[in-house]
Amino acid sequence: MKAEITIKEGNKRPVNPLIFGHFIEYMRDCIDEGMWAQLLKNRSFEISEHVKDGVPDFWHRTGVKDAFHFEQDWDHTISREGCSLKITDRNHYDGYAGTAQTGLCIQNGRYEGYVWMKSEQEVPVSIEIYDKEGREFLSKTISVNGEWKKYCFDFRSAAVTYTGTMEIRLKAAGTLWVDGCSLMPSDTVDGIWREVFERIKNISPAVIRFPGGCFADCYHWEDGIGERDTRPVRKNGHWGGYEDNSFGMDEYMEFCRKIGCEPMICVNFGSGTAEEAANWVEYCNGLADTPYGRLRAAHGHPEPWNIKYWDIGNETFGDWEIGHLDASGYAVKYLSFYEAMKEKDPTITFMVCGGDGDSTSQEWNRKISEIIGDKMDVVCLHMYSQKEIQGEHDSRDIYYATAGSVKKYEGILNDSCETIRKSGNPAAMAAVTEYNVGTIIDSYREQTLEAAIFNAGMLNMFLRNTDKLAMCNLSDLVNGWPGGCIVSKDGHAFGTATYHVMSMYSGSRLKEVLDIDVFSPTYSTSEQIGNIEPLSGVPYVDGAACLDENGNTVIFALNRSCDQEAVLEIKYETPNKTVEKAEITTITSEKTSDMNTLPDESIVPAARIMQTQSGRVTLAKHSINRIVLLP
């Protein structure tokens, strides 16, 4: 198969680095477990759907010989709105009364922990950490006396176990209250698994969206500020389960600063109020003499964070969303948020909920534009290829529909921008604040080379349209749906095929986008697959071209064909300018269904330098390629 790319150097446009953005959400194990390295669940004893013998979820009662009683105590607690576990040893008979949590993964290295405790009189309490095989990691006896106090401990493990237990034992007659337990590896980066943090750092996310997603519409930001152990536990009103808010605003901002990325907040539009959103702006951006700026300063951050990007409403058009509204209802409510937030900081960028990014209809965007007018800066779209696939389809047909659906999304992006700008808001931009392959089932198809080829096509599309885009956010950064860019388990992490695509693109230090003409054979699809309608005229070879910081021409070339290599001829529009030498970095695998795993991260970039034959290079079948033209 033959294809051509002709580079035009006359119309150079700055690359917006925020197109290489990411997204985290309190969904499944994205933040909790995936990023946040806390080993204990229900560490404040507040989750109580399955209380047994007076002991709440994830913990169980222990003890020998002594007579004892357990109960949740909502009157004695360190939390703003919570409880503690009250342990009463009624009759000490050289035994103990205790509570334990099992199934902890403890690995080689140092660990730190603590337990908040108080007692009616001085009593000995021991912290025991051991495993099912009888290995003892820690045995420490503490004298507890009087009011609430944090009792700390640490130990070094020289073994690995997946059956670890942490047990708290009251070893005398009396009453003990236990609250706010913690057990974490010592080498975390401010609570983030070190291996996960380094993986994230290596792909240099330009912007990270937080705290959702759908979850944003049930998130009240004040739950996640202040002393971590006093924060309330809340039900996750969208995805199920509970959040203890250990990773909140302060932790998110510290994380962004260490990564070196731009923060972006999605406010609670569904169950929250305009006043709550405005207070959030003041907490983040207000001076230390404002009420919420003073609160931020009291939490150790005297200088404003100056968060620029604020997303008002997530998928509000959808009946699955908390606070679902029609376009008119959304626009009217949005204006109340706009006025309240703008009063706190008139410099912020307002990002509105656009229409369904899978739909070619512009009715939502047209309607909100009529009402909102120029009181918005960015319209946000979400683009997930596949979603749930109904019926039986050939896997090859699914692949070609998925890889080619970028063409559909480019049309939706252009139509959305045109609709918003026709409303009298010519400066408004678009953002694709969520995108990926999204099968919404645990197939892990999102981690395959197929998904990486789709996401590379999206990145090419973003580069071609960089002047229309405020930002783009791959969903999710860690775990989440099975399409997480980074897969994390027990602190160990690997990059999916899409991770390496993101690394290749964002690490190329791109400065300007160049226009190109692409000639390629095309294909068509004939049936509806998931949310992908039949497609026609999809090019097998797709491309984008840029100049990097050193002035080198960088071409990203995608070969979608399952069967054929592509001989790609690269030439300049400028007469007598030729391509003679190139460095080519390729991401591919034997099959489009291949995926990385923790022991076998085989889908990684492979580089080679070659002399071109009359500007021709060969692209492997189903491959993603970065071609740097060398002098």
Cβ atoms within 10 Å of 345's Cβ, excluding its own: 18
The yes-or-no verdict on residue 37 having pLDDT over 80 is: yes
Domains 1-9+514-628 and 49-183 equal at CATH topology level: no
How far does Cα 230 stand from its chain's mean position? 25
Tokens matching residue 254 = 């510290």
Residue linked to tokens 């019926």: 391
CA distances from 50 to 41, 82, 408, 454 (A): 14, 16, 48, 43
User: Higher-confidence residue: 482 or 261?
Assistant: 261
Within 248-305, where are the H helices? 249-259, 274-285, 291-298
Give the three-class secondary structure for 365: helix
Distance CA 232, CA 505 (A): 40
DSSP 362: -
Distance CA 126, CA 324 (A): 51
Q: Among 11-15, 385-389, 530-534, 543-547, where is mean pLDDT lowest?
A: 385-389
Q: Which residues pair with 562 in a beta bridge?
A: none
Cβ atoms within 10 Å of 567's Cβ, excluding its own: 15
Residue linked to tokens 């996310």: 205
CA distances from 115 to 150, 193, 284 (A): 6, 21, 31
Q: What percent of the chain has pLDDT over 90?
A: 88
Distance CA 171, CA 148 (A): 18
Contact 585, 504 (CB under 8 A): yes
CATH code at 1-9+514-628 = 2.60.40.1180
Taking the CA atoms of the chain, what radius of gyration do you get in angstroms?
Answer: 27
Give the three-class secondary structure for 143: strand
- Dihedrals phi, psi of 302, to nearest 5 degrees: -65, -30
Q: 224-235 b/e with 16+ CB inside 10 Å = b?
A: bbbebbbbbbbe
Q: What is the pLDDT of residue 465?
A: 96
Residues 6+ apart with CB under 8 A from 412: 357, 358, 359, 360, 381, 383
Q: What is the pLDDT of residue 422?
A: 86
pLDDT in tens, 242-262: 999 999 999 999 999 999 999
Tokens matching residue 27 = 């969904």
- Dihedrals phi, psi of 230, to nearest 5 degrees: -95, 0
Give the three-class secondary structure for 337: helix
Residues 6+ apart with CB under 8 A from 530: 385, 386, 387, 388, 389, 390, 398, 401, 439
Q: What is the pLDDT of residue 315?
A: 95
Q: What is the pLDDT of residue 424?
A: 75
Axis crossing angle, helix 291-298 with helix 274-285, rounded to the nearest 10 = 50
Distance CA 213, CA 232 (A): 21
Q: Which residues pair with 539 in a beta bridge?
A: 522
| pLDDT band with cut points at 50, 70 and 90 for residue 439 | confident
- Residue among 305, 322, 39 at smallest CA distance from 165: 39
The yes-or-no verdict on residue 482 having pLDDT over 80 is: no
CATH code at 49-183 = 2.60.120.260
Residues 6+ apart with CB under 8 A from 321: 214, 217, 270, 314, 315
The yes-or-no verdict on residue 441 having pLDDT over 80 is: no
Q: Among 101-110, 162-171, 318-327, 436-445, where is mean pLDDT lowest?
A: 436-445
Cβ atoms within 10 Å of 511's Cβ, excluding its own: 17
Q: What is the pLDDT of residue 483?
A: 76
Distance CA 33, CA 252 (A): 15
- What is the reported pTM? 0.95
Distance CA 512, CA 462 (A): 13
pLDDT in tens, 169-181: 999 999 999 999 9
Please state the domain extents for the chain: 1-9+514-628, 16-36+200-493, 49-183
Tokens matching residue 578 = 């030729």
Fold of 16-36+200-493: TIM Barrel (3.20.20)
